[in-house]
Every structure is written in C-alpha cells, then in structure tokens.
Structure 1
Amino acid sequence: MSTQWLKPYMPRSLYARAALILALPVIVVLLVVAIAFLQKHLEDVTSQMARTAAREVSLVLDVMQDSETQQQALAAARQDLSVLNMSARFLPPNEEPQTGSRRWYDFIAPQVASELHALLPETEYVALPNGQDVRLFLSTDLGVLELGFDRRRLSPTAPHQLIVTMVFFAALMTSISFLYMRNQLRPITRLADAAQAFGRGRVVPYSPGGAIEVRAAGNAFVDMRSRIERQIEQRTLMLSGVSHDLRTPLTRLKLGLSMLPEDEAAPLLQDVNEMQSLLDAFLDFSRGAVESAPESVEPEIWLSQIVDDAQRAGQQVELVSVEGQGTAMLRPSAMRRAVENLIGNATRYGSRAEVSLSLTPKSLRIRVEDDGPGIPIEQRTEAVKPFTRLDPARNQNQGSGVGLGLAIVADIARVHGGILRLGSSERLGGLCADIVIGR
C-alpha cells in the first residue's frame, strides 16, 4: 500500500517526528479507553440507575393519583418522599419551570434526560443545573409537579474525572518520555550538523556520543572525514609537487630557446608556453579550495570587485543585477578563481558576459551568461568532468585548454557545499552557468 499521500502531512524535523511517535499511540489509547468506558460502563450504569429512579418517581405519582387537591397529594406522598429523600411541590399557574443550564463537560446529562423522558411519559423538563441536583417537572391532573432529588441516584459522581485523570497522566508521562527521547536524539542532530558543515566546506568540532548505533555512525563519519581530508591533501601535494618540479626544466628550455634565432625559437616557445599554461591549470585544479578558510564576506561588494578587475583586463563583462543583501561564508580566493574561470570562458567563447547575483535566506547564486555557442544538453554532465574537451559545442580553436576550467569551478562549488549548474541563457542565447551555495 502506497503512503506517498501521507508524506506532505508528516513533520520534517527529527524532534517533531519523535514527538508524534510518542504522542500518537497515547492519544489512540486514550480515545479507545474513553469510548469503551463511556459505552460499556457509564451508559449501562446510567441506564440502570435511571430505571430505578423512574420506578421511585412512578411510586410517588401513584400515591398522588387519587388526591383531589395539590395539598392532599403532597400530604399523601409525604412519607414516601421522606423515605426516598425527595422534595416535591406544585408550580403556581404563573410560574415557568426553571431548568437552568448544564455544565459543558456533563456529557452524561443528555442520556439521563432521554432515559427519563422514555421511562416517564409525564416528564416535561429535566433540569440538571449544577451536576448535584435533579429537578423533574411532571405533568399531572393537579398541575405541574416539581420533584427534586440527588443527582447521584441517576449517574456516577463526576464521571469525567477518570478521563481528566487519564489525560493528565498521559500528558505528564509523554512529556517525561520526550525529555529522555530528546537526550537520545541530540547526538543524531549533532552528527547531522557536523556532516552538513563538512559538506559545505567547514570542519566543526565533533565527538561521537549517544547510543551504540549512533556512536558507531559518528565514528564512521569521523573516519570518513579524516580520509577525505587526507586524500585532498595528498592530491594537492602530489599535483603541486609535479607542477613545481616541471617548472624548472621548462624554465631551462625557455632560457635555451632564447639563445636561438627568433624564427626558429618561436614555434618551440609557443609549445613551452602551452606546457606552462597546462601546469598552471593542473596547479589550480590541485589546490581546489583548500588553501583558505571560510570567512564572512559581502557578496555584492566582493563580486563587484571581480567584475571591475575583469573589465580593467579588457574583458567585456558587466554586473547586471543584484538581488538580496547580507553576508555569506565563502573562501574568497577560491571562489574568486571559480568566477574568473566562468568569466574567462564566457569572453573566450563569446563576445561578452553578464554576471548576476541572487542572495536569499537559504542560498547564494552567482550566474554568468554569455552569447557564445553554449553547450548541448547531452554534453553538460561531461563538461564539468576533468580533462574533458567539447570541441563540437565550444570552439576550442579560440583558446588552449585541457578541460579543467569548469572542473575547477565545480570542485570549488562542491567544497562550499554547493553545485555548478549549466543551462542555456535566455538573455544572451549562449551558456548560463550558475554557482549555487547553501547559506
């Protein structure tokens, strides 16, 4: 049986779901017990007591039946009224029965009234004003007779007390259980916070705790985080070392080629320069975003500086829109490298680029659009992989590269806990690249 329809109505937080798991069974048990108590016990007992009281009232009416006046009727029934602990009087002709109002929680009163009306056809009104006394207004040949007696002769005293007691202790025990449950859930939320922070590029102090299973998951997370950090560090050191070691022979080649005639050295110098650019790209990719710690920046000012620097470098780029205000936790140098890569690709494969910023309470989005040829939908997944060339989609003759530009941007976005999304620009018709980061 599918339960998809139930998901929109379920709470999303762990504490709310735990509270629901604790409270729902208690509520169901209370309802079942209350319904069973009302139907199987109170209703049966009330019915039996009402029949007994109706027989006593009928006895009083039978004694008064042969009387000619109201005083004679009351005198004839005085002894029976005394034995039955009842009071009686006839209403004056101009007096209306005073029934009063029932208490809102007197849920047995309707059954009492209906039982008496069914058992005593002479009954005109049943007054249950305060839960302690009962007044019956009966139609007789001598007038309206008012009989009064104790409510306890018709139903148990304060039948709501059982339900009130059950509700009180159920709420008390549920609250105590939730306090203990919260202590068990706290290590899970701490683990979730640490994992979320690490996914966004931040390392927060975390020590496993809680139950055995939660502690095991926490230890596994700590080990995983250590392995990832170690692998990133090893990758960075390896590629940085390779790039650094290759710079020395390239520098010697440049010095050697400078001694040759210009017409012979020019093609070789071009090859050496391409090798130098490849090493720079490798180094950028190896560094990723690990060389700086996150810090609070104002995205609007920070992005405006990047666009201004690109404009001074001769690139046709413009900051077209800024939505939202506030600060965000970024690695400024790494994210600057990512935005500069996107702007460089946009101006290399198109004639101009437009940059926009959108800041919401939950996310930060940096968008770079160009008027170039774009990237086909079926190739966008491959475009962000390292060392991928998309010759049919992006004219590689316009610039030399090794397919690391978008890979570097995607890697930096991932380190920030975000993502790089590629699409088509509705404004310019080329590529639309979005860096989306959670705040």
Structure 2
Amino acid sequence: MEFAWLKRMMPRGLYGRAALILLVPIVTLQIVVSAQILQRYFQEVAGQMSAALALDLALVLDEIDRGGPEAAAAVAAALQIGIGPPPAGLTADRRAVYDLTGIEAIRVLRRNLPQLVAVDLSTDWRRPVVVLEGRAGPVALSVTRQRMSASNPHQLLVLMIFTGLFMTWVAYLFLRNQLKPIKRLAEAADAFGKGRVVPYNPSGATEVRSAGRAFLDMRGRIEGMLEQRTLMLSGVSHDLRTPLTRMKLGLSMLDQDPEVAALSRDVAEMEALLETFLDFARGEALDDPVPTDPVALARGLVADAARGGGRVTLAAPDPGTTLLLRPQAVRRCVMNLLSNALRYGTTARLTVALPDRAIRFTVEDDGPGIPADRREEALKPFARLDAARNQDKGSGVGLGLAIARDIAQRHGGSLSLGESADLGGLRVDLVLPR
C-alpha cells in the first residue's frame, strides 16, 4: 500500500501509459549523461584552463609589483590580460546560478592564487574580472571567458535534448500505430457490452489479431445464443398464450361462482407472469439511441403512473435538454422501478438529475425498504425477499429490479439500491452515461 499514491498519479489511458514508458528511460538517460558530461568533461577542462590562467595572472601581478601597471602593460598585452582598478564593492565571488563551470574555475583560481580577493563572473559573462591583492593594493585583471572554461558548454546539452525529443516523437508515432488496434478492440468490446455491434476487423501485431479474432468468435456465439433464446421464448409464448386464451374463454362461459372467480384470477396471474418472463428475456432487444428529453420522458412516466392510481411526485429540472438515449428501454426500466415502488409503498418519488457526464434517475418510496445485507441478492433474477417486503398488494416473481439492472448495464450504466432519507423506504439510483 506504500505505492498507492504512485498508482493514483499514473495515467489511466493506454496512450498515456505508453508515453510514460517511452519518456521515463529517455529522460533518465539524458539526465545521467548530462551529469557525467558536466562533471567529467566541462569541469575537468575548466579546471585545467583555470590552472593555466592562474600562472599568467601570477606573472602579471609580479610585474605590477616590480614596476607598476605601466611596466606590466607589455606582458599583460602579450597574455591578453587587461589591467584596471578593482570594481567598487567587489569583495566576494560572483557567478550566475546556472554557471556550473564557474564553480570549478573559482575553486582552481583560489587554490593556485593566494593573493586572490574575488572573482566576478556575472557582471560581464564574456570578460570576467579577477581581483588580486598586490603590494601597492588590489588590482583588477580581466580576461576573456574562453581563457577560463570551454566556450558554449550548453550546446552539447541542447543538442542532446532536441535529439531526444525528436527520437521520442518518432518512436511515439510507431508506438501509436501499434496501439490503435488495441484501442479499436477495446471500443468494439465496450460497445458490444452496451448492446451495440460496431464493425471491427482484426489488425496490428499477431497477438492483437489473435485476440481480435477470439473476440469476433465470442461475439458471434453470444449473438447466436441470444437469437436462439429469443426464438425459443417466442415459440413458448405463442404455445402458452393459446391454451390460456381458451381457458379464459371457457371460464367466462361458466357461472361466476367463487371457484370460477378464483380460477380466473389464477389464469390472469399466469398471463402476468408470462409477460414478466418475456420482458426479462427481451432485455437484450434494446431500441436504437435517438435524441430524447429525459425530463419529458420522466413526466410521461409519472403521468402514466397517476392514471393507474399511483401517487408519484416528480423532481426534475426544466425540460429542453436533449440527450442520446434508448427511450423505450429507459422507459421500461424506470417504469419497472416505479411499479416496484408503488407495489410495496403508498407514495413514490422520481428525481431526474443531469450531471456533466451522466443521467441519474432516482426512484424512492415509503415502503419497508430492503436491508443493506440483502440488496445485492434483490438484484438477482427471481429473487423474492418476502420477509423484508410487503405482500399486501400481491406477490411478484422477483424480476422487476433484475430487468432494470439488465437494461442499465446494457446502456453502460449502473443500478444501485439504498435507503431513502426523506421517505424512509427503498432508494434506487439508475445512472446512465451520456
């Protein structure tokens, strides 16, 4: 867990991680090589040149001590050293922060010149000033910077940096071509998980092509299984509806005594169960996404529930926001949630929220709710939590929440259960990505 902070800082995307893997070795190599060049080459060269300059400065100072500045002018001119009065206030060494070779130059001059007072490398970078203490007082000797250290030491570093950036760009272009097939495979798999089939052709490296072909085979098998299930259930529906219709017709022709009425209710319940089973089986048959106003859709659902005698309130922003949704599937999902809320409670509330990257439908009721330790079980198909839910309004088959979660997952969203803070019953949050 000590590296958890590092994982949080890592890029989440494939391109970002590939760029990081590519850049870290190159940047590390640049830093190590640059440090070695500065230490082994520029500093050693600066030390050797400064040691030779110290001999020339000592010779000029000796001539000044013997006969004065005029007598030393010829020697200084021959050595290309200027003689002048010391600058005012120069009592300590001066250098720029980035002047790394100046550190070595000042160190060597101080080691070889006991008379050294100060070295000024920052006032005029091209012509440093060295102040020495002579017999007649301090004197300033100026030389060109080329006499003290190698000229333009930054050129090699700049060349290394630009070469490294160029090679990184070239390597990233090649790497991007290798990452594109992986990204396309991920997009195709994500779309299939949301109930959409997008064209996909395996490409890229051998391993990626193999994974792509395996995905296509898996997608084909799943589509075949779903088609066979739909056909089978369609046949079962047709075969069961016919005898149920005959039973209803036969019961309607009998005298309506209590036993016949009870049998009629059983037949009606069998029809309702059959419709519920078929709704669950048709979960994969989603409609196509179209521009839809979620607030208008929610208002229609509340109006339908009110016509059926349910007490449902709506909390939503003003209509007018159009999003790409599957309206029939979302309508079926939210209607299942509202029906479930009214089944176990007397009042329900539908809330619509539109955050930046998602749509949230929240359904709350004033029923008994579901214990926290049984909420995951309640989302499974055919799960009936009779001990926790009210049965005064009839029994169900435990498919309402399962159908809603199936539709949410096929939209790439999620369905979660909680407790309503206001009404005290169950709270169901349906979150769909935009």
TM-score w.r.t. the length of structure 1 is: 0.90
Q: 2:103 aligns with which of 87, 104, 110?
A: 110
User: Is 1:422 the equivalent of 2:417?
Assistant: yes
Change over 3 Å in CA distance of 1:323–1:33 after alignment to 2: farther
Q: Is the 8 A contact 1:239 1:282 kept in 2?
A: no
Match of 2:387 in 1: 392
The alpha-carbon deviation at position 277 of structure 1 amounts to 1.2
Q: Aligned equivalents of 1:164 and 1:387: distance in 2? A: 69
Q: Aligned equivalents of 2:289 and 2:84: distance in 1? A: 91
Q: Is the 8 A contact 2:338 2:363 kept in 1?
A: yes
Q: Is the 8 A contact 1:289 1:331 kept in 2?
A: no
The alpha-carbon deviation at position 143 of structure 1 amounts to 4.5
The alpha-carbon deviation at position 102 of structure 1 amounts to 6.4
User: Is 1:371 the equivalent of 2:366?
Assistant: yes
The alpha-carbon deviation at position 385 of structure 1 amounts to 1.9
The alpha-carbon deviation at position 234 of structure 1 amounts to 2.1
Q: Is the 8 A contact 1:388 1:402 kept in 2?
A: yes
Q: Is the 8 A contact 2:195 2:286 kept in 1?
A: no
The amino acid that maps onto 1:20 is L
The amino acid that maps onto 2:23 is A
Q: 1:262 aligns with which of 251, 256, 269?
A: 256
Q: 1:233 aligns with which of 223, 227, 236?
A: 227
Match of 2:33 in 1: 33
Question: How is 1:201-280 mapped onto 2 (pairs within 5 angstroms)?
Answer: 201-263=195-257, 264-280=259-275
Match of 2:170 in 1: 176
Change over 3 Å in CA distance of 1:387–1:207 after alignment to 2: same
Q: Is the 8 A contact 1:351 1:372 kept in 2?
A: yes
Q: Aligned equivalents of 2:324 and 2:83: distance in 1? A: 86
The amino acid that maps onto 2:72 is L
Q: Is the 8 A contact 1:357 1:365 kept in 2?
A: yes
Q: 1:195 aligns with which of 189, 197, 213?
A: 189
Q: Is the 8 A contact 1:389 1:402 kept in 2?
A: yes
What's the secondary structure of 1:346's corresponding residue? Answer: helix
Question: How is 1:154-169 mapped onto 2 (pairs within 5 angstroms)?
Answer: 154-169=148-163
Q: Aligned equivalents of 1:413 and 1:151: distance in 2? A: 73
Question: How is 1:338-377 mapped onto 2 (pairs within 5 angstroms)?
Answer: 338-377=333-372
Match of 1:22 in 2: 22
The alpha-carbon deviation at position 357 of structure 1 amounts to 0.9
Where does structure 1 differ by over 6 angstroms across 4 or more consecutive aligned residues?
Answer: 97-104
What's the secondary structure of 1:155's corresponding residue? Answer: coil
Change over 3 Å in CA distance of 1:324–1:188 after alignment to 2: farther
The amino acid that maps onto 2:332 is R
Residue deviations 1:45-80, cap 9 Å, x none?
22122112111221222334332x443x326xx2x4
Q: Is the 8 A contact 1:324 1:359 kept in 2?
A: no
Q: Aligned equivalents of 2:305 and 2:170: distance in 1? A: 62
The alpha-carbon deviation at position 108 of structure 1 amounts to 1.4
Q: 2:72 aligns with which of 49, 71, 74?
A: 74
Q: Is the 8 A contact 1:90 1:144 kept in 2?
A: no
Q: Aligned equivalents of 1:298 and 1:9: distance in 2? A: 38
Deviates more, 1:40-49 or 1:113-122: 113-122
Q: Is the 8 A contact 2:65 2:136 kept in 1?
A: no
Residue deviations 1:8-60, cap 9 Å, x none?
22122222221111111111111111111222222222212211211122122
Unmatched runs of 5 consecutive residues or more in structure 1: none
Deviates more, 1:242-251 or 1:312-321: 312-321
Q: 1:320 aligns with which of 302, 315, 320?
A: 315
Q: Aligned equivalents of 1:435 and 1:64: distance in 2? A: 93
Equivalent residues, number = 431
The amino acid that maps onto 2:141 is L
Unmatched runs of 5 consecutive residues or more in structure 2: none
Residue deviations 1:203-236, cap 9 Å, x none?
2222222212222222222222222222222222
Q: Is the 8 A contact 1:137 1:145 kept in 2?
A: yes
Q: Aligned equivalents of 2:397 and 2:82: distance in 1? A: 108
TM-score w.r.t. the length of structure 2 is: 0.91
Q: Aligned equivalents of 1:32 and 1:395: distance in 2? A: 72
User: Is 1:288 the equivalent of 2:283?
Assistant: yes
Deviates more, 1:346-355 or 1:416-425: 416-425
Change over 3 Å in CA distance of 1:203–1:417 after alignment to 2: same
The alpha-carbon deviation at position 356 of structure 1 amounts to 0.5
Match of 1:59 in 2: 59
Residue deviations 1:255-299, cap 9 Å, x none?
222222221522221221111111111121121141522222111
Change over 3 Å in CA distance of 1:416–1:428 after alignment to 2: same
Match of 2:292 in 1: 297
Q: Is the 8 A contact 1:253 1:272 kept in 2?
A: yes
Q: 2:399 aligns with which of 395, 404, 417?
A: 404
Q: 2:136 aligns with which of 114, 122, 142?
A: 142
Q: Aligned equivalents of 1:97 and 1:367: distance in 2? A: 76
The alpha-carbon deviation at position 254 of structure 1 amounts to 1.6
What's the secondary structure of 1:66's corresponding residue? Answer: helix
The alpha-carbon deviation at position 436 of structure 1 amounts to 1.6
Q: Aligned equivalents of 1:364 and 1:335: distance in 2? A: 11
Q: Is the 8 A contact 2:82 2:143 kept in 1?
A: no
The amino acid that maps onto 2:406 is D
Match of 1:336 in 2: 331
Q: Aligned equivalents of 1:279 and 1:116: distance in 2? A: 99
The alpha-carbon deviation at position 339 of structure 1 amounts to 1.4
